[in-house]
Amino acid sequence: MAGRYDVIVLGAGATGMMCAIRAGQRGRSVVVLDHAVAPGEKIRISGGGRCNFTNIHAGPKNFLSANQHFAKSALARFTPKDFLAMVESHGIAWHEKTLGQLFCDDSAKDIIRMLTDEMRCAGVDLRLRTEIGAIEPVAGGGYRVATSEGALEAASLVIATGGKSIPKMGATGFAYRVAEQFGLPLVETRPGLVPLTLDPQLLQRLAPLAGIAAPAEIRHGKTAFREALLFTHRGLSGPAILQISSYWREGDEITVAIEPDIDIFITLKTARQANGRQSAQTALAEILPKRLAQHFAEGEGMSGNMADHPDKRLQQLAAAVQAWPVKPSGSEGYRTAEVTLGGVDTACLDSKTMQVKNIPGLFFIGECVDVTGWLGGYNFQWAWASGHVAGEAA
């Protein structure tokens, strides 16, 4: 005899727990299954251990999806304020870091504790270290899930097993296989919010810069992000690069502008007027980290006194710093990617409930769906919102 519930949720991550809480609060009997030893492992490591749990500015424009409108409904029905109200009701101290990003003051574990407490209050059964086997529709409605602890059946089955990022943490791509089993279309998956790598030649030239961070604007076509840029031993990273990586494709060029709020040409010109005997490198080092100033000044062959350099040369140096075309060779891949782009095609889902159209009782939520947020708390907001609306319907 299979154990019976109203709702089986596969995956005890952010979205699965949120869905289970809402369904449990509605009086549904709910079981959450996960192969991990603890729930919410990605929450635990998120935001440098402090969990950037939402972004107060989160809206559809902050998400990538083949259907830009799909996320609107869920995001409107469970907002950052709704999540914040839950956080505050548990007495969790928080702060806004920058750009609307909300973090725990103490630890991401506070968020996990809040979710597991809420699940307990809602009567949700959480089963960890449970391997999931075959899924079959049951004649007359519902689903049967084979597990290492025996078979379970429920009227509603919610797939909340996340994407492919960080396989070391238990990411499996399981949701995509379930989608395929039910004949659902997938949008091609790829690593998102990921550092970009450079070819060996460029990497060698940039090697002395590893570890340097600077404010930058990184552009890809019409999309641009202004945040920090970090030079690494493998290539480029930092929030600005992670953001643009979700838009970048192999073979594309990005444009890097360092210190985008400063007019470097005017600054150099003013420095030349003030002291024509200083070098361009010295003048540039007033704005940029020393090694970066050296890299660009040497790269443009700007040795000697500034007085000897006409405006055109100063403009060339400014362009090298602020219109620097870079062709990444690749990305660090799922090993370090924060999210998976693409996934279950939203065309087959009802945006109000996350239920598969024409397959009653089957839901996909969270990262496995083709909705991916920018860096900055947006991905958790999608997890909470899509989990909540599914929990209202499952």
* Footprint on this chain of ligand FDA (rule: CB under 6 A): 11-16, 34-36, 41-42, 45-47, 51-52, 132, 160-162, 165-166, 170-172, 174, 338-339, 366-367, 377-380, 383
| Rounded-to-integer distance, Cα 321 and Cα 266, Å | 13
**Beta strands at 223-231 and 186-192: parallel, antiparallel or unpaired:** unpaired
177 vs 205, beta carbon nearer ligand FDA:
177
Which residues have C-beta within 8 Å of that of residue 278, sequence separation ≥ 6?
271, 305, 306
Q: What is the CA radius of gyration of the chain?
A: 25
13 vs 24, beta carbon nearer ligand FDA:
13
132 vs 152, beta carbon nearer ligand FDA:
132
CB 103 within 8 A of CB 53: yes
| Rounded-to-integer distance, Cα 278 and Cα 96, Å | 42
CB 309 within 8 A of CB 277: no
Q: How far is the CB of 225 from ligand FDA (least distance, A)?
A: 16
| Other Cβ atoms within 10 Å of 191 Cβ, number | 24
35 vs 269, beta carbon nearer ligand FDA:
35
State the burial class of residue 150 (Cβ atoms within 10 Å of its Cβ: 0-12, 13-18, 19+): exposed
Phi, psi of 305 (to 5 degrees): -70, 145
CB 311 within 8 A of CB 327: no
Amino acid at 74: A
Q: How far is the CB of 229 from ligand FDA (least distance, A)?
A: 19
User: Residue 105 has what DSSP assignment?
Assistant: S
Closest CA to 205 of 287, 294, 265: 294
Q: How far is the CB of 216 from ligand FDA (least distance, A)?
A: 21
318 vs 369, beta carbon nearer ligand FDA:
369
Q: How far is the CB of 129 from ligand FDA (least distance, A)?
A: 10
Amino acid at 193: L
CB 281 within 8 A of CB 298: yes
CB 354 within 8 A of CB 389: yes
114 vs 160, beta carbon nearer ligand FDA:
160
4 vs 129, beta carbon nearer ligand FDA:
129
Closest CA to 111 of 8, 10, 18: 18
Q: How far is the CB of 128 from ligand FDA (least distance, A)?
A: 9
51 vs 268, beta carbon nearer ligand FDA:
51
16 vs 328, beta carbon nearer ligand FDA:
16
Q: How far is the CB of 376 from ligand FDA (least distance, A)?
A: 7
Q: How far is the CB of 270 from ligand FDA (least distance, A)?
A: 41
Q: Which residue is nearest to ligand FDA (CB)?
A: 13
Q: How far is the CB of 227 from ligand FDA (least distance, A)?
A: 14
Q: How far is the CB of 250 from ligand FDA (least distance, A)?
A: 22
